[in-house]
Structure 1
């Protein structure tokens, strides 16, 4: 049992492990990481910093009032224009179209109104460069301007300015005062002029509207004149070129003997087309007669269409057929030798010879027509070859002819187009339609446009709120101290076992610690209850109480906690392990002649060792003071004597509480935390730096110390108005039975509070309004004292 407490220094210790008997966290307390914006917390910050916010708002209110008084009165006059669609679009092809009422035209018109040319035109028309009132009035908040408006002194010295400088100043003031704007989904433009003089504002607005219209007319007229001159020059040039190109074309056609029809084809080309048609007919005719000749050569001349369709031959065939019929009829009566029969046979033979002769004649006629078709075909082919040779020669000549003719056509097209545009320019120059119309003239306003007192105050107060928020953010950002128990749990990853309220003086602390009905006693009873349920086996038998830095109240916490456990009948021993700056003997009002250091050095005999366990006025509580301050406290604490002493004390006492030195800069507390079953860190509100506390907790974990939790000490509910979860710590809540009790609950510190001055708040829950204001003033005074 004693061996596990022995070992070397803090740096050689093993990694942290969880004690099976007591379910303390190893330092990884799961705290919910709230990444979303907590509106309730923001509201709490506003309550906490209400005085700072109030001061900023008051300053903003005063600045708004001051601005509304000092700022010059500005009047706004508005002249309204409507962009008109032109009645004719002239020279559209060369991008000289009148402005339309689309969005681009509206934006262009606005930019033109804001242009320097309009400013110079208005300044010249109204002679503003010589208007001293216009030049002197200024809307700025400069010192000279304020004195000039208030007392009539100061301002710009106009007598020293030249004419050009006065004009430049007038143009600049005009540009600053004018602000054109468009009406949504309309072609209407408002020319807004803001100036300290209402009459001058209206005059400038109307003059600007007229200047815009006149400028549009001048630009259109100038454009038409420039276009007419340009087109006239172009017409003369193109006309000369057209004439020269026509002469060149005619000269070339005459020289090459080229005759072209209206459709740009030569006579040769037309003849070739005619010959091609005739040749096609001749070929068709030759093919037709060729087939008939072949039929005749095959002995089928009688089947020719000419033979079949001939009426004479058909009559002859009919006669032959009749004679043959008569011959067959008489053959039944007469013999072929009879004269009648011979006469019929002779007639039939003669007619057949006539028929054959007629058929031969038709065949000769067909052959003659065939030969004629052949001859015609050959002649046409020969003629066509001659014409094709001529056409090829013509095509060679026509290439240059075509080039010259295309040039003529191009110049003729340009000439006709320019003539048409020249006529359009002549018509368009007489139109001169306006691009805008004044639909509402500006009138001198009676009520000033600015400053508006309500708006000025609203804006300055909003800016003050932003400035206050930024200031609070910077303050909170630079504040690296713990303000709430939640911050302790989040930063140190250990649970909060108790919250001990802050008190003002040591005398009040003594009374509150002794009173069982005080807020301090109630807070410690809650702490005792939390410790009883902190582990699976109940309250740890050995507890180490430490803190990050001195003066955080750990000694008082250790004493009061020991007294509360002893009040339950628990045999309790309070050991003052701070052998550098011991404090428990002062709290109990005893001496520190012998104690823990004397036991560990072995300089006491058995009789003197028994005196180390001092009786106290609290039943069940023994005290072991630190003893003589040694030169090497750490060496005594890491020795085997210390481990054996703790083991022996565990057999004699039910609970041992070690009052340890601070962790930062010392190794005493980490060494003692290895010997204790649980270690409690005391963290004071708005005192210890967060990084220091985190470093202290990590040192205890690295030596396998079991961090049971933390105690949030010196908690001031007034400082944490921004944290609504802890409003139950208000002091009135701890008054029992309706009695006042202590005016303010507090907690003692070790010796001094490191220069921090705390103040109490006297509050009656049912007090008068006067008492509430008095308490608010006291809270403000206390906070200022703490910041000092």
Structure 2
């Protein structure tokens, strides 16, 4: 797709994109304002640790402090600590699961950010301030217990070593006499005594070190910035949620628009017509607000409208397309029903007659005829009766009824036969058309839809040309392609396409804009070469005599 096509797609589906945007944004806004506001109180903590005086250990001490920060961050959210903090803050009955607690170490520092979320801002601040205090008490208690356990173990070792020293000294004093044996025992006991005294000194030094560490112990966590009750909630973020939902809604609408366009296989514009059929679009007929009117003869009722001019464009295109091979008989059909082929045939007949050509509109839709209703004519004897005659078409003027437009006559369908395809495919129809062309200039056949029955293909084979009417946005591409294949089978001459009910937008809309302005500037002027026909009551038919009686008898026999 080109950039212009994307722009046209956005313009076409702008209402859908706006709708999904508004719905998504409104739904998110309503949902957000109904949520319970959540407040967040935060406090910043410093992890304190004594650092060795040895320069070689400074990096190790810093690394240990950072690891300690991560460890404390995990310990702060432990259930016993949280439960004790709730009790200390005065909320012993509050479920810890109802409180949102998050702890995050600050990268490359010994700082910890502690955040507490709760619907009550004061409760959140109280818990955030209670947690560090409880953790300090908890950590100090653990450290004290570790010190006491270490001191008790060392004191027990000292008592045992002291006992060993006394026993060894007593054993040395009990040695008497001289000689190698006594001297050897004395030497052995003196060495053992020296070991006991050395061990006693080492253990005593450890005990003093622990006592000194206990005496110099400080809080491992320091509150740098205490929590205060927050003024605004952190959730729900109504504006942010609404904006994000609106953006998502717009994307959904845009995606839906592209999906619809991708799945839509209808013919919409002249480019689609050329791509599917390889034919030219002879004219583009804009969608009319009152196209559901019973007559639909815009070329008579509003001859200066852009729609009427579109039919004149089709007429001109037909005339220019038949310079090498003149067209005197034209079949108007469509792929399916309700695509505007009967209205197109009637209006095309009117504008053809306005050029001065003696034109005959023949209702060849022998299943659902409409032209007699459009022109307000009776439908007793028409095309069916003429094709059932057993002799030549003498007095054929009886079949033609003035339409009320100069130079335009109508042959209605007549009574509906049981075998319309056989009638239209007979040699009689070809002879009938040749007889009409002896006295008239142009024949237009309004035929049934091409995919419903074989009548249009039969007519198209017998006549000079076929005009396909395509309903913009409704005629599907497969149906139009199948119609072309049916026409090609019988070697019908399809001269082009009339694009009906076209929604003018974008570049295509400029034609209608400027044309409307042209016709609105001078309501009194008429288009050169076109004189709208004078409307007058249809001529009455004789009830009996000649061709009429023979046609009536033929219809009764059939």
What TM-score range do you get, normalising by the shorter chain?
0.5 to 0.7
> Contact 2:51/2:61 (CA < 8 Å) preserved in 1?
no
Aligned twin of 1:87: 51
Q: Deviations over 1:171-204 (max 9, x none)?
A: 1112xx2233455665543222222222211121
Aligned length: 468
User: For 1:506, what is the secondary structure of its paired residue?
Assistant: coil
> Contact 2:345/2:444 (CA < 8 Å) preserved in 1?
yes
Matched, 1:56 2:23: yes
* Cα pair distance change 1:642/1:125, threshold 3 Å: same
Larger Rg: 1
* Cα pair distance change 1:535/1:210, threshold 3 Å: farther
Of residues 328, 331, 341, the one that matches 1:554 is: 341
> Contact 2:17/2:254 (CA < 8 Å) preserved in 1?
no
Matched, 1:632 2:557: no
Aligned twin of 1:40: 7
Displacement of 1:554: 1.1
* Cα pair distance change 1:423/1:712, threshold 3 Å: farther
Displacement of 1:668: 1.3
2: CA distance, partners of 1:633 / 1:557? 22
2: CA distance, partners of 1:652 / 1:109? 109
1: CA distance, partners of 2:152 / 2:488? 97
Displacement of 1:634: 1.2
Aligned twin of 1:120: 83
Matched, 1:684 2:471: yes
> Contact 2:17/2:249 (CA < 8 Å) preserved in 1?
no
Displacement of 1:534: 5.2
Displacement of 1:709: 3.7
Q: Deviations over 1:365-406 (max 9, x none)?
A: xxxxxxxxxxxxxxxxxxxxxxxxxxxxxxxxxxxxxxxxxx
> Contact 1:684/1:713 (CA < 8 Å) preserved in 2?
yes
Matched, 1:199 2:166: no
**Aligned pairs (5 A) from 1:498-517:** 498-501=283-286, 502-504=288-290, 506=293, 509-510=296-297, 513-517=300-304
**Aligned pairs (5 A) from 1:419-430:** none
Aligned twin of 2:230: 445
> Contact 1:64/1:458 (CA < 8 Å) preserved in 2?
no
* Cα pair distance change 1:678/1:425, threshold 3 Å: farther
Displacement of 1:99: 6.4
Unaligned runs of 5+ in 1: 1-33, 90-95, 136-169, 232-418, 718-722, 742-788
**Aligned pairs (5 A) from 1:107-506:** 110-130=73-93, 135=94, 170-174=95-99, 177-181=100-104, 183=106, 188-211=111-134, 437-451=222-236, 454-455=239-240, 457-459=242-244, 461-462=246-247, 465=250, 495-501=280-286, 502-504=288-290, 506=293
Q: Deviations over 1:733-784 (max 9, x none)?
A: 625454697xxxxxxxxxxxxxxxxxxxxxxxxxxxxxxxxxxxxxxxxxxx
Matched, 1:78 2:78: no
User: For 1:552, what is the secondary structure of its paired residue?
Assistant: coil
* Cα pair distance change 1:77/1:605, threshold 3 Å: same
* Cα pair distance change 1:666/1:125, threshold 3 Å: same
Q: Over the residues paired in the alignment, what is the CA RMSD in angstroms?
A: 5.0
TM-score, normalised by the number of residues in structure 1: 0.48
Q: Deviations over 1:130-158 (max 9, x none)?
A: 3xxxx4xxxxxxxxxxxxxxxxxxxxxxx
User: For 2:231, what is the secondary structure of its paired residue?
Assistant: coil
1: CA distance, partners of 2:44 / 2:367? 88
RCO higher in structure (CA 8 A, sep ≥6)? 1
* Cα pair distance change 1:703/1:198, threshold 3 Å: same
* Cα pair distance change 1:660/1:435, threshold 3 Å: farther
Displacement of 1:525: 1.9
* Cα pair distance change 1:85/1:649, threshold 3 Å: farther
* Cα pair distance change 1:587/1:198, threshold 3 Å: closer
* Cα pair distance change 1:51/1:540, threshold 3 Å: farther
> Contact 2:17/2:250 (CA < 8 Å) preserved in 1?
no
Select the structure that is richer in helix. 1
Q: Deviations over 1:660-711 (max 9, x none)?
A: 1012331212333334454333233565566555554554455544544433
> Contact 2:13/2:257 (CA < 8 Å) preserved in 1?
no
2: CA distance, partners of 1:98 / 1:221? 24
User: For 1:560, what is the secondary structure of its paired residue?
Assistant: helix
* Cα pair distance change 1:616/1:62, threshold 3 Å: closer
> Contact 2:18/2:250 (CA < 8 Å) preserved in 1?
no
1: CA distance, partners of 2:97 / 2:220? 27
> Contact 2:21/2:249 (CA < 8 Å) preserved in 1?
no
Aligned twin of 1:337: none
User: For 2:289, what is the secondary structure of its paired residue?
Assistant: coil
* Cα pair distance change 1:53/1:613, threshold 3 Å: same
1: CA distance, partners of 2:106 / 2:277? 62
Displacement of 1:632: 0.9
Aligned twin of 1:586: 373
Q: Deviations over 1:607-639 (max 9, x none)?
A: 144544556554554544434422111123333
> Contact 1:65/1:457 (CA < 8 Å) preserved in 2?
no
**Aligned pairs (5 A) from 1:574-653:** 574-609=361-396, 611-612=398-399, 617-642=404-429
User: For 1:544, what is the secondary structure of its paired residue?
Assistant: strand
User: For 1:606, what is the secondary structure of its paired residue?
Assistant: coil
Unaligned runs of 5+ in 2: 54-59, 155-201, 524-558
1: CA distance, partners of 2:149 / 2:520? 101
> Contact 1:516/1:522 (CA < 8 Å) preserved in 2?
yes
> Contact 1:598/1:627 (CA < 8 Å) preserved in 2?
yes
1: CA distance, partners of 2:322 / 2:331? 15
2: CA distance, partners of 1:498 / 1:442? 77
1: CA distance, partners of 2:437 / 2:409? 14
2: CA distance, partners of 1:468 / 1:190? 42
User: For 1:199, what is the secondary structure of its paired residue?
Assistant: helix
TM-score, normalised by the number of residues in structure 2: 0.65
